[in-house]
Amino acid sequence: MSQLDANLKAAGSAPGVGAALGKVAVLMGGTSAEREVSLMSGNGVLKALLSRGVDAHAFDPAERDLDALKREGFARCFIALHGRHGEDGTVQGALELLGIPYTGSGVMASSISMDKVMTKRIWRFEGLSTPAWSQVHSGAETRAAFAELGAPMIVKPAREGSSIGFTKVMSADQCEAAYALASQHDPMVLCEQFIAGDEVTCPVLGPTDQPRALPVIRIVAPDGNYDYQNKYFTDTTQYLVPAGLPAGEEDAIAAMVCKAYQVLGCRGWARADVMIDARTRKPYLLEINTSPGMTGHSLVPMSARAAGISYEDLCVQLLQHTDLDGGARA
């Protein structure tokens, strides 16, 4: 365990730390397509915080107005919302106006990171590798993208997570159906070059200017299909940590992911997904999640545990670093 990880663990376990955090709302549920996953994440976080003596309460923005947070004296929020109206800067903006510090990235970084097209544009501009892509607006444009990007091609909503609306297109005659599925969730649809090889993910903790990568996890899903079901509801997907990558690869991925986090202005925590080309061993950034899952199958807690940080200590540490965009730390 590194000295930083030891410090984080000690801070999360310190006596009386829970009481010092004040009244805490765990935002969960919400209105996005990832509501079910968010409720699992939020309830896990709530249980962890209560076990550490935090005055924590469940708060579902789909059922209560956010201004109740101010009226009821909440000192800070742990955002366990995923997807739209939770991870995309909207809730963050509302909390800024209410003056209530919150976990994770601020308004701009949250908004950009939720938009896979904008994220890829910034990463490409900053010299970070990401698969070739095309934004499309119809089935015909999806066919044209397929002709350019080749098979297989990934088609997905540009502003959803958890593989919702995702299709791996193998032939041109699948393009219209793939576009129709993705566009049910978002009018902005992304077609992306498929990178065949190892799938890994790497969480990051810390402020924008001092990010710290946690251990890389290699994901081995049934038939290479890491979809919604295999992410959250089956036990057949393998998660390898240590990842078992060739010498030097994990350090290179960690450095790349930290830079990806920095150039987007992320803070607090995030998790970046990466594909490693099987032939060249070159890593490619897919996307970054600024409100990662905290379910029993989730990857940030798994990686933290490999670094010696328990789920409960991780939750407390994230809560201790709540911020407003102006930098006024609670």
Give me the active site residues, please: 34, 162, 232, 271, 273, 287, 289, 293
Q: Which two tokens stand for residue 83?
A: 């997807």
**Residue 215: CB atoms within 10 Å:** 17
C-beta contacts of 220-224 below 8 A and 24+ residues apart = 224/199
Distance CA 121, CA 141 (A): 19
Q: What is the DSSP letter of 268?
A: E
Which residues are CB-neighbours of 89 under 8 A, at least 6 positions away? 106, 107, 108, 109, 110, 111, 114
- Pull the structure tokens for residue 317: 């540490």
Closest CA to 112 of 330, 327, 302, 289: 289
**Interhelix angle 3-13/311-320, nearest 10 degrees:** 90
